[in-house]
Amino acid sequence: MTSSTILKTTSLLLVTLFLIFSFFLLWRGHDEPGGGFAGGLVASSAFALYTIAFGAVGARQNLVIDSRLLIGVGMALAAISGIPSLLLGDAFATGRWADVEIADREIHIGTPLLFDIGVYLAVLGVVVTIVFALAEEED
C-alpha cells in the first residue's frame, strides 16, 4: 500500500476508466482489435493498480467475488458456451449466433461472445489471484 495521495486519487479515476475500457475491448473484440484475453488483462491491470494504491484487502473487497472462484466461473462459462451447438446437433462449440432486438436496436450475440466472457473472467481471476497472493504477503 502506498501513502501517496496523488496515486490514490488518480488510481480511483484510472481504475474506472480501465474497467470501462476492458468491457469495451471485450464487446468489440469480434470485429475490431480486442477480445476476452486483452479485456481480461486490462481489467487485471485495473485491480493491480488498485492493489498498489490501497492494498490487497480493499481490492479484494471491491472484486466482490473470490478471485479463485472467478477462474472456475470463467472456465465453466467457456466450456458451457460449447454446449448449445451440441444440443442442436452440431459438433461441440460450433458458433451459434442470434439477432436480438433490444430497445429498437438489433444486437448480434452468439456463443463465441459467451466464450470470450469466460476467457475474460478466467484471465482476470488468474492474474488477480497471483497479484493478491503476492501483495498480501507483504502486508
Partner 1 sequence: MDIALAVLGGFAAAAVAPLVVARAGHYGGYLLALVPLAVFAFYLSLAFGADDVAAVSWTWIDALGVDFSFRIDGLSRLFGLLISGIGAIIVVYAAGYLKGDPKLGRFYLFLLSFMGAMLGLTAADNLVTLFVFWELTSVTSYMLIGYKHEYQASRDAALQALLVTAGGGLAMLAGLVLLGIAADTQSIAEINAAGDVVRDHHLYVPILVLLLIGAATKSAQFPFHFWLPGAMEAPTPVSAYLHSATMVKAGVFLLARVNPSLGGTTEWTAALSIAGGATMLLGAYLALNQYDLKRILAYTTLSALGTLVMLLGVGTELALKGMVTFLLAHALYKGALFMMAGAVDHEAGTRDVRHLGKLARAMPITAAVAVIGALSLGGFPPLFSFIGKEVLLEATLENEWGAFWLLLAVVAVSSPLLVVAAGVIAIRPFFQAGGEPPKHPHEAPPSMWAGPGILALGSVVLGLAPVLGQGWLIEPAAQAVAGEEFEVRLALWHGFNLPLAVSAMTIAAGIVAYLFREQLRALTWPVESRVAGTVGPTRGYEGFLVGIKRGSAWQTRKLQHGRLRRYVATTALATVGLVALAAFTNGGVPLAFDVGGVHFYEWFLGALVLGGGVLTAVARNRFFAVTAVGVVGVGVALIFLVFSAPDLAMTQLLVDVLTVILFVLVFYHLPGPMLQARRGVLVRDAALSLAVGATMTLLVLGVVHADRPTDVSEFYAAAAYAEAFGRNVVNVILVDFRILDTLGEVVVLGAAALGAYALLKYRARDPEGDEQ
The footprint of partner 1 (CB under 8 A) covers 25, 29-38, 41-42, 44-45, 48, 52, 68, 71-72, 74-75, 78-79, 82, 92-93, 95, 97, 108, 110, 112, 115-116, 118-119, 122-123, 125-127, 129-131, 133-135, 137-138
One-character DSSP codes across 70-138: HHHHHHHHHHHTTHHHHHTTS-TT---EEEEEETTEEEEEEHHHHHHHHHHHHHHHHHHHHHHHHHHHH
| Closer Cβ to partner 1, 16 or 72, answer by number | 72
* Beta carbon of residue 136, minimum distance to partner 1 (angstroms, whole number): 8
| Closer Cβ to partner 1, 58 or 108, answer by number | 108
DSSP code of 63?
H
| Closer Cβ to partner 1, 19 or 93, answer by number | 93
Q: How far is the C-alpha of 20 from the C-alpha of 49, rounded, in Å?
A: 15
